[in-house]
Structure 1
Amino acid sequence: MKGPLFYSKILLFGEYGIIKDSKGLSIPYNFYKGALKTEDNLSGEAKASNASLLRFAHYLETLSESKPQLVSFDLAAMKADVAAGMYFDSSIPQGYGVGSSGALVAAIYDKYAQDKITVLENLTREKLLALKTIFGEMESFFHGKSSGLDPLNSYLSLPILINSKDNIESTSIPSQNAEGKGAVFLLDSGSTGETAPMVQLFMEQMKNEGFRQMIKNQFVKHTDACVEDFVNGNIKSLFGNLKQLSHVVLDHFKPMIPAKFHELWKQGIETNDYYLKLCGSGGGGYILGFTEDFDKAQKALKGHRLEVVYNF
């Protein structure tokens, strides 16, 4: 048995900001994927995944009981499948900010939710918000508090534009230019990051008036401008706003940037060869990079593993 594939995602813009109602833009990233599988003799990662799915089934039972109006699952079937050796077979790296738990949540909802909202129906804003809420509750099992965006992206496999907390829509982004010199890329930090402690740190900082003002007047402002530019294909303006955003993150989100990358981050802003930003909650995993000339960025970041996600 092998279930349908669910892909990883990349939140291009909006990390932390969407908690405070900035715009956001999330795209599927088909390089990594996962599917539910069943095997008789489990070992290693598959065995750990199987045990985790059993804990998740118990969590979903509690969720169904406490919020029956939100969602209900065929948990008898899920538990039987887990007992028969079901696990989530995934190439999505964990703790890298590309939505490993999101793909799993999407797969479980797809297989076991009752009266589920399907990808084939007309996805009104109400339905998208309902899905986002359900997924947020489901994914909270993995890291405390979830916006539900990662599973939504994985489930729909469409770019999602976040206008505000209560206003999301599927969107189209300019098609890639295969010959283009510009690129969005992933830079491997070489270590994993944990979402929960990073979000906790951010929430602590939000208690500080100065930090709150900076988020509103700088971080959200530049994030919103980047989203608008990217969706509308205004590349020149996009790079101007990216430079500002990269600067704000370096100045105010240092704990979320692995220490050995502080200098590289600064170097990008000073040379304009590339601009770096957080990919997900930071602390490790991938860092997101944008450049108008990928060859130049590659030379400047020699010795680091880069993966192109999108070409301008």
Structure 2
Amino acid sequence: MRNPLFYAKILLFGEYGIIEDSKGLTIPYNSYKGSLKFNKKSTGKISNESIDRFAEYLEQNFGDEFDMEKLNADIDKGMHFDSTIPQGYGVGSSGALVAAIYERYAINKIDIADGITKGLISQLKETFSKMESFFHGKSSGLDPLICYLNLPLLINSKTDISTIGIPEQKEGTGAIFLVNSGAPGETAPMVQIFFDKLKQEGFRNTLKEEFIKYNNACIDSFVKGDFNPLFSNLKKLSTWAFLHFKPMIPQRLLDAWQYGIQTNSYYLKLCGSGGGGYVLGFTKDYEQAKLHLKEFDTEVIYKF
């Protein structure tokens, strides 16, 4: 078996907003990765059993789109997903698995080696959305899409997604970084909270008039490498999330979240659905931010 690696992903901007057609920006994160391997020992047993249940779902929902005979035979041989991507941390653990299964077993898979167009991206997203729904109840398909393409993606709307170049990293004092809340989160309950909030007219209005405005402005500034307006809008975005996404912010991070806004030393935002796992930090002075966040493990994902 070829063992292509599938890397983690980070949704820099667009969490929840992309459900309501805000822009989104997602990037690969190559510090974590996974691949399909064979192992009859206990180390791969839990993953093997999970893939077995996933295979049943694929057989029921995709007809003859996957080589189920080959997949089931490999599961019987002890195939599992050998991964360093932490589960429940918002960095695409299930997305990488979905991408790996698609790459290996889809009968008429879209081969990105021949080039990628918006039309092909849309087809892949639709397939991945249906596949990953097994794990989350409802999925946009974006996580497996970026894990499969391993390229930064700009989401303009649900039906308009394209690859995009982002500014090269520089050895400056600024950084985008992950903050570990100390415990995993569950996607489905957080998404349900969001949908419950959407039933309130006041929340729908502030999402469209404020959150989407700040989110889209952050993306535009980041892509241009224009960091002053980026941080101005990051403060507004972080403040808005503190007011309206508080149930999704890991409890242990609430004080740190507020402190960053009050001191302007860093700004935090959700990384994925929230509830636990990682949150994202943005700062112009990473060493100073680390001092304020010394209770938490942090890791840099982008320098400027």
Query: TM-score of the superposition, structure 1-length normalised?
Result: 0.96
Residue matched to 1:86: 79
Q: In the aligned structure 2, how far is the partner of 1:42 from the partner of 1:58? A: 23
Matched AA of 1:11: L
Question: For 1:54, which of 36, 43, 52 is the aligned residue?
Answer: 52
Q: In the aligned structure 1, how far is the partner of 2:226 from the partner of 2:61? A: 43
Tell me if structure 2 keeps the 8 A contact 1:128–1:169. yes
Question: For 2:270, which of 269, 275, 278 is the aligned residue?
Answer: 278
Q: In the aligned structure 1, how far is the partner of 2:2 from the partner of 2:264? A: 46
Residue matched to 2:9: 9
Tell me if structure 2 keeps the 8 A contact 1:2–1:35. no
Taking the TM superposition and a 5 Å limit, the aligned residue runs for 1:23-102 are: 23-39=23-39, 41-44=40-43, 46-65=44-63, 72-102=65-95
Q: What's the CA shift for 1:303?
A: 2.4
Matched AA of 2:279: I
Q: In the aligned structure 1, how far is the partner of 2:216 from the partner of 2:114? A: 29
1:175 lines up with 2:160 in the alignment: no
Tell me if structure 2 keeps the 8 A contact 1:54–1:82. yes
Q: What's the CA shift for 1:119?
A: 1.7
Q: In the aligned structure 2, how far is the partner of 1:118 from the partner of 1:227? A: 29
Residue matched to 1:139: 132
1:253 lines up with 2:248 in the alignment: no
Matched AA of 1:169: S
Residue matched to 1:154: 147
Tell me if structure 2 keeps the 8 A contact 1:2–1:38. no
Q: What's the CA shift for 1:115?
A: 1.4
1:304 lines up with 2:296 in the alignment: yes
SS of equivalent to 2:218:
helix
Percent identity between the aligned chains? 59
Tell me if structure 2 keeps the 8 A contact 1:192–1:284. yes
User: 1:111-135: per-residue Cα shift (whole Å, max 9, x none)?
Assistant: 0001111121221111000000000
1:244 lines up with 2:236 in the alignment: yes
Q: What's the CA shift for 1:240?
A: 0.4
User: 1:71-90: per-residue Cα shift (whole Å, max 9, x none)?
Assistant: x1111000000001100000
Matched AA of 2:243: D
Q: What's the CA shift for 1:3?
A: 1.5
Residue matched to 1:164: 157
Q: What's the CA shift for 1:299?
A: 1.1
Q: In the aligned structure 2, how far is the partner of 1:275 from the partner of 1:215? A: 19
1:189–1:170 CA distance, 2 compared to 1 (3 A)? same
1:206 lines up with 2:204 in the alignment: no
SS of equivalent to 2:113:
coil
Q: What's the CA shift for 1:42?
A: 2.3
Matched AA of 2:42: S
SS of equivalent to 1:98:
coil
Q: In the aligned structure 1, how far is the partner of 2:3 from the partner of 2:66? A: 17
User: 1:236-281: per-residue Cα shift (whole Å, max 9, x none)?
Assistant: 1100000000000000011001222111111101111000000000
Q: In the aligned structure 2, how far is the partner of 1:229 from the partner of 1:137? A: 33
Question: For 2:108, which of 110, 115, 118 is the aligned residue?
Answer: 115
User: 1:133-153: per-residue Cα shift (whole Å, max 9, x none)?
Assistant: 000000000001100100011
User: 1:170-206: per-residue Cα shift (whole Å, max 9, x none)?
Assistant: 11100100x2110000000001100000001100110
Matched AA of 1:43: S
Tell me if structure 2 keeps the 8 A contact 1:2–1:37. no
SS of equivalent to 1:187:
strand
Q: In the aligned structure 1, how far is the partner of 2:56 from the partner of 2:294? A: 47
Query: TM-score of the superposition, structure 2-length normalised?
Result: 0.98
Q: CA RMSD in A?
A: 0.9
Structure 1 segments (4+ residues) deviating >3 Å: none
Tell me if structure 2 keeps the 8 A contact 1:274–1:290. yes
